Amino acid sequence: MLTQLRHIVESMTAAASLEQALQALVHLTRNVMQVDCCSVYVAEPERRCYRLAATDGLAESAVGKAFLPFEEGIVGLVGQREELINLADASAHPAFKLLPDVAEEAFRSFLGTPIMHQRQVVGILVVQQKESRLFDEGEESFLVTLAAQLAARIAHAQARSQLTRTDWGKPLRGVAGSPGVAIARAWVWRPRKELAAIVPRKADDPDAQLGRFDQAVEAVRHELEALALRFRESSSQDSVAIFDIYLHLLADPSYIKPIRLRIEQEEWTAISAVKLVSETLIGRFGSMQDPYLRERATDIKDIALRLISRLVQDEPEHLAISERVVLVAEEVTATILAEVPRDCLAGVVSIKGSSNSHTAILARAMGVPAIMGVEFPLAEIHRLMLVVDGYSGDLFVEPKEPILAEYRQLLHEEQALDQLVHSTDGQPSETLDGVKVSLLLNAGLSADTEIAINELADGVGLYRTEIPFMLHDSFPSEWEQTARYRGILETYRNRPVCMRTLDVGGDKQLPYFPIVEENPFLGWRGIRLTLDHPELFLVQLKAMLRASEGLDNLAVMLPMISSVGEIRAARRLLDQAWSEVSQEVATRGGTLHYPPLGVMIEVPSALYILPEMAPLIDFWSVGSNDLTQYLLAVDRNNARVASIYDSFHPAVIRALQLLVDSARRYGKPVSVCGELAGDPIGVLVLLAMGYRRFSMNTRNIPRIKYVLRNASLDELVPLLAEGLRSDSPHALRGLFSRYLEERGMGGFLRAGHKVTA
């Protein structure tokens, strides 16, 4: 069954249009299931009806012309109930409705399943038989599996068909990733996937290439095992065999060994070596007489493409862009972003990812509007004119003049707002009723965000150290790290700089230190990794300490702390590093201050051990991005669950309240360095709770300062109390947005803005 399923799905993918794809689907499904009829109905929400989009068995002449209202017929019932309906005699069912011109009279039995995409019924898949019989469980599960596989393809195809229309009335909807508006042509970045299109290249880092290759093999093995597991339940011998062959191939020395040799001895890049060896084998198997062996050529190609697609994720092409563009890709990564010259980057659109992916955080730090998690066919968008609405997540393709005009106006207002917020540059950071706050900078994501703002920031609240590690080919040496850290400590001379120790793992991978895990966000990440590698941790701590000589403005912060044991272990290593470096400094006649040590609150367990933690640390800082992710068990990178990732969820708000109250009780400074602190509503809620130290990206500092200078704590405290009486995050957000609007600061909130043209 699996082979047939795959065949159907592949035939659909290969089809040039939605109509052809659905035609292939009904035809193949009818044959495979040996039924008398297969049809697909596609939902048309504006007309509130299903349209017969393809059939093999009903009257061909009705395709595209027969419509069934959502509320009518058994097809309508499948949609309403959002579940499968299996009937031996459909005509006897009270909901049965005979459509004129469809020629359905001959069929008695009916099996229909909804095609669901993102909680919406996008269509109904139906098979029918002349004889009266109930379909068996195997048939039911085949149809349900097929419908699940089709859902994204139909949604995708609908987006594609929208794209071929000349009327661009409707925008494509994504997740707002970074605020702002961009109007520019699309520049599509695509990984090199076709074997033939890869030009073999030599590398000068065979060890790193070998590491990347091994990592890709592991990753593909995991992918295949996960797929195998998914199909085990419904599997025939076929599926087991496919996965066996694939997994076997991945472990087969006659395939893997020559690739490794080409990397090690001939110094090809990992991608080139996979291409060269695979092509030779594909050629050899492809010309064999035996059809079984000939088929193996397809398997090798499949595996090779999986390996290559893994490898290219880490190795973007060199981008030759010389005009302002909207960068568009299946998955925009921090490294692809880094490749585009900043002057040319008007906006970002990523099919994968969500508002808290590091790419979105980076885009926000760079002040580049971004939309994440939006679906459309990549190939067709290249060079088309786009409007990126980074407030609402709406993407307009080839917009008409009224829309362009409205967005040009918005851009204009944006610039005016920028000027307005800078009018408070020389004034203190305090509220209307005189409450003083510290506005700190989140630095480290990209080099150019650090320098420009130093006059406005009261210091650095979070220096993410992992990015320089990610852009290297190997662990940066102690001296390289010292020079980099010294740069930032000197830039912020006389102001505190809080450096976070290495937080790799999760979605931040080092190309030369592969970590392959089923569940990376729950795995070897942050402090867990550095404590297991004291040799790396000590180098980083010593580099930070040495960089602070004579400046005395360093604080050290530990990411992903979940137990006091981790703090004690880190403290021991900091002591050791300090005693070594301070001796060295003393021999030069200098002095070295022991830095304050703080921890990030981002793992829920940390909230319940605050009393035990307090005596061991000097300050706390909330990583609201991860705290939200872990409290709500919602992957911060996953667009599918983006709507339930919400830092205003009552659980997150209570956790934040608990922390600020404890900080007061134990007399420890506390700050917020997640994205919530740079959000105009978030910062007001945090202020009302009792927070006074906020760390955010460069662009947000003047904006947040303006918001705070025009707000009164006196008014915010009762607002928070009122918001907390409701169990809905929307109520709290609504109250605070109204507050901003009433004080003329609605311009900071464009999230709800929708262009009407």
Per CB under 5 A, residues contacting Mg ion are: 602, 623, 626
Q: Which of 553, 551, 536, 558 is nearest to 585 (CA)?
A: 551
Work out which of 160, 262, 296, 464 binds ligand PEP, going by CB under 6 A: 464
Q: Which residues pair with 69 in a beta bridge?
A: 49
Tell me the pairing of strands 394-397 and 67-69: unpaired
Q: How many residues bind ligand PEP (CB under 6 A)?
A: 11
Which one, 363 or 673, has the nearer CB to ligand PEP?
673
Smallest separation, CB 481 to Mg ion (Å): 20
Binding partner of 657, given Mg ion, ligand PEP, none, CB within 5-8 angstroms per partner class: none
Helix (H) or strand (E) holding 177: strand 175-178
Q: Where are the beta strands (DSSP E) in 525-627?
A: 554-558, 597-601, 619-622
Which one, 464 or 705, has the nearer CB to ligand PEP?
464
Helix (H) or strand (E) holding 52: strand 49-56
The dihedral built from the CA positions of residue 252, 258, 264 and 268, taken in this order, carries a sign that is negative
Q: Which of 485, 470, 628 is nearest to 556 (CA)?
A: 485
Which one, 361 or 685, has the nearer CB to ligand PEP?
361
Smallest separation, CB 489 to ligand PEP (Å): 20
Residue type, 71: E
Cβ atoms of 652 and 646 closer than 8 Å: yes
Which one, 444 or 729, has the nearer CB to ligand PEP?
444
Smallest separation, CB 675 to ligand PEP (Å): 7
Active site residue 117: no
Binding partner of 352, given ligand PEP, Mg ion, none, CB within 5-8 angstroms per partner class: none
> 3-state SS of 321-350?
CCCCEEEEECCCCHHHHHHCCHHHEEEEEE
Cβ atoms of 506 and 525 closer than 8 Å: yes
Question: Is there binding between residue 679 and ligand PEP (CB under 6 A)?
Answer: no
Smallest separation, CB 566 to ligand PEP (Å): 16
Which one, 108 or 500, has the nearer CB to ligand PEP?
500
Rounding to the nearest 10 degrees, give the CA dihedral for residues 98, 102, 104, 109: -90
Binding partner of 507, given ligand PEP, Mg ion, none, CB within 5-8 angstroms per partner class: none
Smallest separation, CB 357 to Mg ion (Å): 12
Which one, 369 or 674, has the nearer CB to Mg ion?
674
Angle at the Cα of 347 from the Cα atoms of 345 and 350, rounded to 5 degrees: 115
Which one, 18 or 627, has the nearer CB to ligand PEP?
627
> 3-state SS of 98-157?
CCCCCCCCCCCEEEEEEEEECCEEEEEEEEEECCCCCCCHHHHHHHHHHHHHHHHHHHHH
Which one, 150 or 601, has the nearer CB to Mg ion?
601
Smallest separation, CB 470 to ligand PEP (Å): 12
Binding partner of 674, given ligand PEP, Mg ion, none, CB within 5-8 angstroms per partner class: ligand PEP
The dihedral built from the CA positions of residue 560, 561, 562 and 566, taken in this order, carries a sign that is positive
Smallest separation, CB 627 to Mg ion (Å): 8
Q: Where are the beta strands (DSSP E) in 522-578?
A: 554-558
Work out which of 674, 680, 682, 723 binds ligand PEP, going by CB under 6 A: 674
Work out which of 511, 623, 682, 702 binds ligand PEP, going by CB under 6 A: 623
Distance, in Å, from the CA atom of 720 to the CA atom of 707, rounded to the nearest integer, reads 17
Which one, 203 or 557, has the nearer CB to ligand PEP?
557
Distance, in Å, from the CA atom of 703 to the CA atom of 462, rounded to the nearest integer, reads 18
Which one, 114 or 678, has the nearer CB to ligand PEP?
678
Distance, in Å, from the CA atom of 13 to the CA atom of 25, rounded to the nearest integer, reads 10
Smallest separation, CB 506 to Mg ion (Å): 8
Which one, 352 or 464, has the nearer CB to ligand PEP?
464
Smallest separation, CB 82 to ligand PEP (Å): 36
Active site residue 358: yes
Cβ atoms of 276 and 473 closer than 8 Å: no
Q: Which of 367, 440, 401, 354 is nearest to 177 (CA)?
A: 354
Binding partner of 610, given Mg ion, ligand PEP, none, CB within 5-8 angstroms per partner class: none
Angle, to 10 degrees, between the axis of helix 680-689 and the axis of helix 650-666?
Answer: 50
Q: Which stretch binds ligand PEP (CB under 6 A): 156-164, 285-293, 451-459, 617-625?
A: 617-625
Residue 478 Ramachandran class (φ > 0 left, ψ -120 to 50 alpha, else beta) = alpha
Segment 337-366, which members bind ligand PEP (CB under 6 A)?
A: 361
Smallest separation, CB 600 to ligand PEP (Å): 7
- Residue 331: both structure tokens together: 């998955």
Rg of the chain in Å (alpha carbons): 29
Tell me the pairing of strands 497-500 and 460-464: parallel
Work out which of 626, 631, 662, 701 binds ligand PEP, going by CB under 6 A: 626
Work out which of 386, 403, 592, 673 binds ligand PEP, going by CB under 6 A: 673
* List 37, 38, 498, 673, catalytic entry: 673
Distance, in Å, from the CA atom of 467 to the CA atom of 449, rounded to the nearest integer, reads 13
Q: Which stretch binds ligand PEP (CB under 6 A): 109-117, 304-312, 577-585, 618-626?
A: 618-626
Work out which of 389, 406, 602, 635 binds ligand PEP, going by CB under 6 A: 602
Segment 482-541, which members bind ligand PEP (CB under 6 A)?
A: 503
> 3-state SS of 65-91?
CCEEECCCHHHHHHHHHCCCEEECCHH
Cβ atoms of 124 and 41 closer than 8 Å: yes
Q: Which stretch binds ligand PEP (CB under 6 A): 307-315, 376-384, 577-585, 624-632?
A: 624-632
Smallest separation, CB 504 to ligand PEP (Å): 10
Binding partner of 464, given Mg ion, ligand PEP, none, CB within 5-8 angstroms per partner class: ligand PEP
Binding partner of 406, given ligand PEP, Mg ion, none, CB within 5-8 angstroms per partner class: none
Question: Is there binding between residue 625 and ligand PEP (CB under 6 A)?
Answer: yes
Segment 228-257, which members bind ligand PEP (CB under 6 A)?
A: none
Tell me the pairing of strands 597-601 and 619-622: parallel
Which one, 109 or 355, has the nearer CB to ligand PEP?
355
Q: Which of 466, 461, 553, 481 is nearest to 515 (CA)?
A: 466
Spell out, one character per residue from 410 to 439, where the chain touches ligand PEP: x when CB under 6 A holds, - when not.
------------------------------
Smallest separation, CB 350 to ligand PEP (Å): 17
Backbone angles phi, psi at 310, to 5 degrees: -65, -45
Cβ atoms of 541 and 577 closer than 8 Å: yes
Spell out, one character per residue from 546 to 585, where the chain touches ligand PEP: x when CB under 6 A holds, - when not.
----------------------------------------
Smallest separation, CB 475 to ligand PEP (Å): 19
Binding partner of 673, given ligand PEP, Mg ion, none, CB within 5-8 angstroms per partner class: ligand PEP
Which one, 53 or 606, has the nearer CB to Mg ion?
606
* List 358, 422, 533, 649, catalytic entry: 358
DSSP state, 320?
A: -
Binding partner of 450, given ligand PEP, Mg ion, none, CB within 5-8 angstroms per partner class: none
Work out which of 113, 624, 637, 647 binds ligand PEP, going by CB under 6 A: 624
Distance, in Å, from the CA atom of 129 to the CA atom of 139, rounded to the nearest integer, reads 12
Q: Which of 356, 309, 312 is nearest to 335 (CA)?
A: 312
Binding partner of 399, given Mg ion, ligand PEP, none, CB within 5-8 angstroms per partner class: none
Q: Would you please indicate which residues are annotated as catalytic (active-site) residues?
A: 358, 673
Interface positions with ligand PEP (CB under 6 A): 361, 462, 464, 503, 602, 623-626, 673-674
